[in-house]
Amino acid sequence: MNKPSTKKSRTAKRKRSRLVVAPKAKPRRRRGGVRLLYVGTRGVVRAVSQSTGRKVWGISLPGTGYELVSLLHTGDLLLAGSRGCLFGLDARTGQIRWKNELRGMQYGSMQLATESDSSLVFVGIYGHVVAISKRSGRKKWQVSLPRTGYAIVSVVSEGGRVLAGSKGLLFGIDPRRGQIEWTNRLKGLGYEHLALAGAQHTNSNELVQIQQAAAAAQPQS
């Protein structure tokens, strides 16, 4: 009776010795499964779990001091604007993807608008509307709103058009080129700030009310 080859037995033994059983990985809690609420204040943005109220992440926006923060969440991108700077943040981690200092816009407060299928975010600031790429943070176009001075601008993006209001004037703007298509002077309504609302998007004047209250609280010189 033939005996099995010693060489074959050693090879099989070596093969068996190479088998390694990996330890079971500890289950990780995916942030993608947690519904987040984003909070912007005093130059800081925080993400808070809606179910527990606990902080998930937080970040201080560089160069913004302790100013008010405007926020807009779209897909996996969180847009944060403060003291004339716009930031594109990773909505899951808070990491800064890009920063645009919006040169020439001073330190004006901004209001933000976009549509889910648009590659641009529209910024209302300092009497202007500026279109910024969501992906790169680069400016695509900028338009000055006539007869508005350097006032705060409300902006809504809906139905393939950008709608902007400032100092009693309403504008319809082509989102691709930044060209003003029409103007409504809202005769008889004065020159106050405008709050805008479309079928799906709103732009309240809460930010303006906060600023006006803060200005009223300052001592008169």
- Using the predicted structure, report yes or no on whether residue 205 has a pLDDT greater than 60: no
* pLDDT value, residue 28: 37
Asked if residue 110 lies in contact with residue 86, where contact means CB atoms within 8 angstroms, the answer is: yes
CA dihedral sign, ordered 162, 82, 38, 76: positive
For residue range 127-143, list pLDDT tens digits in order.
Answer: 999 999 999 999 999 99
Kindly list the structural domains of the chain, giving each domain's residue range(s) and its CATH number in brackets, ordered by start: 33-101 (2.40.10.480), 106-221 (2.40.10.480)
pLDDT in tens, 206-216: 555 455 545 54
Contact status, residue 123 vs residue 111, Cβ threshold 8 Å = yes
- What pLDDT, in 10s, does the model give residues 58-109? 999 999 989 899 999 999 999 999 999 999 999 999 999 999 999 888 777 7
Highest mean pLDDT out of 97-111, 148-162, 184-198: 148-162
DSSP string spanning 17-84?
A: HT--PPPPPPP---GGGS-EEEEEETTEEEEEETTT--EEEEEE-TT-TT---EEEEETTEEEEEETT
pLDDT, averaged across the chain: 82
Q: What is the pLDDT of residue 113?
A: 94
Q: Which two tokens stand for residue 124?
A: 């209302």
Higher pLDDT, 20 or 201: 201
Query: Helix count (H) and strand count (E) of the chain?
Result: 2, 17
Provide the pLDDT for residue 106. 73
